[in-house]
Structure 1
Amino acid sequence: MKVFYITMQFPVPSETFASNDIKMLIAKGIDVQVFSLLRSLKESKKLIHERSLQDVPISNSTISKNLKGIFYGIISFRKTINIIKFIIKNNRKISEIIKSLILLPRILSIYQSIINNKPNVVHLFWGHYPSLIGYLILKYNPEIVLTTFLGAYDLEMKYKPSEVIAKNASKVFTHAQVNVITICDMGVKLDNICVSYRGVDINNLNNKGLLRKKAGRIVCAGRLIESKRIKEVIKIFSKVKNIFPFASLVILGDGPQKHDLQKLAVQLGVSDSIQFKGHVSQKEVFADFLKSEIFIFMSKKKGERLPNVVKEAMLARSICLVSETPGIGELISDGITGYIIKGDIDEVANKISYIFNNKQELIHIGLNARNFIVNHFDIEKTIMDYINVWEDTLVNKKNVL
């Protein structure tokens, strides 16, 4: 089976899950090619090496490819006019129309690759701007199976063309039960929605993790931006440090707030006990999770849904203290596989103190967390949701516009 993945950029530091999905599909015998609407990042070669993606065919936007798209748009004038009409008709905001039209040359060049290479399946890894490629497939190539993913960002963005394509695609995937009602409200039939949790590679973290825990080690990970609330994590840590002098904090990730966060650590007198590691490889992330007794996730970002970083920390038997974001109850059973927190600094500091004073509970909850991830979020099992849908749809195909 030949599958074309359509995404915005690939690979991306914050989207390890995309790399994991594609590698697992290839391991299952699927012929996967990746097409991105945007240019590759400066660090893409490094990410390809770190994530062992050297054998994955990846096509990112370039000037020459956009020129080819423009040329194709000229010789396929009717298709070009129709997609422009579709864009204008289904976008209320001028800004969205402009962004969509800017992407149009790349969309047409990807579409040309699709019709030249004839994949069995085109999967829209994100449901917003990639949906414009979905429009062309549905209208002109109904013999190709089209599936789309609608995640938290897609649902928050409310890009109207994605709703039209979702209603007509063979299947709509999403990564949390909490998203289903919103997708149904868009007009997608319930039986055309497949909830498939984003899986993690359970082989990355072995059973020796518990023996490698460092006393008092706390870890948090994420982009260093305001909505991730790393500032609050540092304030919590300063309170914990006053009670437990052996405590230490590792912060994984980079972003515009890094300098301010480092200044805050100095002001609170805890800079000597905090490591700002920046963006690190997935291997290094796992190594830090294996050492951590506690993982804190304080994000209030609107688009959070069952973050993979929390799953990975759970797999490493870290006690996870996680903010109350949509659907988090599908991942954390409060007091059983971790703790769901309201975000109050004193509340979280007191919870950490309780955990440090009750090591036996740390072992119990950590083991529960790992077992839950192994049983419900093993990527080798979750990726089969996609493969099974594609195989069934190829037999009983039903995407039309």
Structure 2
Amino acid sequence: MTAARTKLLVLSSTYPRWSDDSEPSFVHELSKRLADDMDVTVLCPSAKGAQRLERMDGVKVVRYRYAPNALETLVHNGGIVGNLASKPWKVALLPTFLLSQLFTALWLCLRSRPDVMHAHWLVPQGLVAAFLSLCLRRKVPFVVTCHGTDLWSFRGRIWEPIKRWAAREASVMAVVSKVMEDELANQVGQINNVVIAPMGVDLEKRFRPAFNGRPCTYQIITVGRLVESKGVEYLIGAMPELVHRFPAATAVIVGDGPDRIRLERLAVQLGVTDHCEFLGKISNKELPDLYRSSSVFVAPFLQEGLGLVCIEALGCGCPVVASDIPALADIIEHSGKVHLVPARSRKAIISAVTEVFSNFDEELNGARRSHSRLSAKFGWNVVSEGYAAILRGAMTRN
């Protein structure tokens, strides 16, 4: 007799709206791998152009409405935190966003009776999962994964007691890096159900070096939402001197967000518009070729949970220059080939990029050699097996 498949309900505020979407895809990448052995349903917010109900790569996707179609803009194109910062009026969408997610999740629980839930981000999805555990007669164990913004952006007297309650209701609290484990303890106190479990990168098929080719000379790339915490202004600020040293130098800026106009104006003010190419959002399929065609990836982060884009770049054999922030320590440990610079320092970026350009063959070979070590820690095969074990362990804790 075949054993029944585990029913998993995933709660997430970030999810691809369609195939090859430019929105972050790590929740879907994990979910589709878990779907090999589990019946996975993902609950996520609706968006213009996205189907309300569909099956994507073996994952059942349910999207809940929280506003008229034209106003469902709280989540995408910058994330909740970025959108609220750039357009404060969107705070009016939060009540219906939370309530619609809660009631739809409750309906799904009553209808399909999941064995376990996985909430991505402590706020708001972890909070919703904790409320569900109170509402349901049959308590459903749940795992919460913190990705970064849920810890650093929702602070103060109101949020920290809420986060403390949700974290202690969870069967397992997962954080994607060691620094986040420390931050979680600072906010909610010591709890005994915390594990470090990063998200993954498709290093097996997509993000691989092109050993038989060379990238474009002096092409710099950065990838991410254009929000203050990504620090892109410091890369643009470094461009006048880099162009002076390397006249062919170009910064390719991939991503969109509330800071884009400000950053484009900065490039004009500094006289480097011809050397700063704003590509906007591109599909996830296009990223590997961009990494492979670039000479260096610059991640001038001010704050970050883990830095998956650095792993993607290294996986494609692109040398990396990144801010010396604690979250990147986990990547350094398993790659050994990242130039760390102080955050907010244009001079340090100039110096590090100059070093990469000046010793390019050595830098390129070092980045390419890091692929196998990164795969052993951050490859999706390893990461998904770890999360499958965490979810099944959560079921035995209750």
Q: Deviations over 1:338-382 (max 9, x none)?
A: 111113212211221122111233134313432332121111111
The verdict on how the C-alpha distance between 1:251 and 1:368 changes in structure 2, with shifts beyond 3 A counting, is same
Alignment partner for residue 121 of structure 2, among 116, 122, 126?
126
| Aligned ranges 1:184-223 → 2 under 5 Å | 184-185=185-186, 186-190=188-192, 192-202=193-203, 203-208=205-210, 211-223=213-225
The SS at the match of 1:22 is helix
Change (3 A) 1:233 1:334: farther
Q: Structure 1 residue 100: deviation in Å?
A: 5.2
Structure with the greater alpha carbon radius of gyration? 1
| C-alpha separation in 1, matches of 2:122 and 2:316 | 31
The residue identity in structure 2 corresponding to 1:16 is: S
CA distance in 2, matches of 1:212, 1:249: 18
Name 1:71's counterpart in structure 2.
none
* Equivalent residue letter for 2:258: P
> Cα 1:225–1:183, aligned 2, differ >3 Å: closer, same or farther?
closer
SS of equivalent residue, structure 1 residue 384: helix
Q: Which moved more, 1:377-386 or 1:365-374?
A: 365-374
State which of 10, 25, 29 in structure 2 corresponds to 1:16: 25
Offset, 1:44: 4.1
Take 2:259 and 2:135, find their aligned partners in 1: how far apart are those partners?
A: 45
Matched with 1:29 is: 37
Match of 1:176 in 2: 177
- Counterpart in the other structure of 1:163: 164
1:375 match: 376
1:59 aligned partner, one-letter code: V
The Cα of 1:209 is off from its aligned counterpart by 5.1
Q: Deviations over 1:171-216 (max 9, x none)?
A: 11110112223334524533x2121111101111234256241121
Corresponding position of 1:135:
131
- Deviation of residue 124 (structure 1)? 1.1
Q: CA RMSD in A?
A: 3.1
The alignment partner of 1:295 has SS state of strand
Which residue matches 2:252? 250
The percent identity for this pair of structures is 22
In structure 2, stretches of 5+ residues that fail to align are 1-5, 69-90
Partner secondary structure for residue 204 of structure 1: coil
CA distance in 2, matches of 1:127, 1:164: 10
Cross-structure match for 1:389 = 390
Q: Quote how far apart the aligned CAs of 1:138 are.
A: 4.7
Helix, strand or coil at the partner of 1:129: helix
User: If the length of structure 2 is used for normalisation, what is the TM-score?
Assistant: 0.80
* Residue-pair matches, total: 358
What is the one-letter code of the residue matched to 1:360? D
In 2, Cα distance between equivalents of 1:166 and 1:312? 30
Q: Deviations over 1:257-288 (max 9, x none)?
A: 33343343344443333321110001111110
Mapping 1:2-401, distance limit 5 Å: 2-11=7-16, 13-26=22-35, 28-36=36-44, 38=45, 40-42=46-48, 44=50, 53=56, 55-62=58-65, 99=94, 103-130=98-125, 131-138=127-134, 140-156=136-152, 157-158=154-155, 159=159, 160-185=161-186, 186-190=188-192, 192-202=193-203, 203-208=205-210, 211-301=213-303, 304-332=304-332, 336-342=336-342, 343-394=344-395, 396-398=396-398
Q: Would the aligned equivalents of 2:102 and 2:132 in 1 still touch at CA under 8 Å? A: no
CA contact (8 A) 1:338 1:369 kept: no
More helix, by proportion: 1
- The worse-fitting range, judged by mean Cα deviation, of 229-238 and 169-178 is 229-238
Give, in angstroms, the shift of residue 132 of structure 1.
2.8
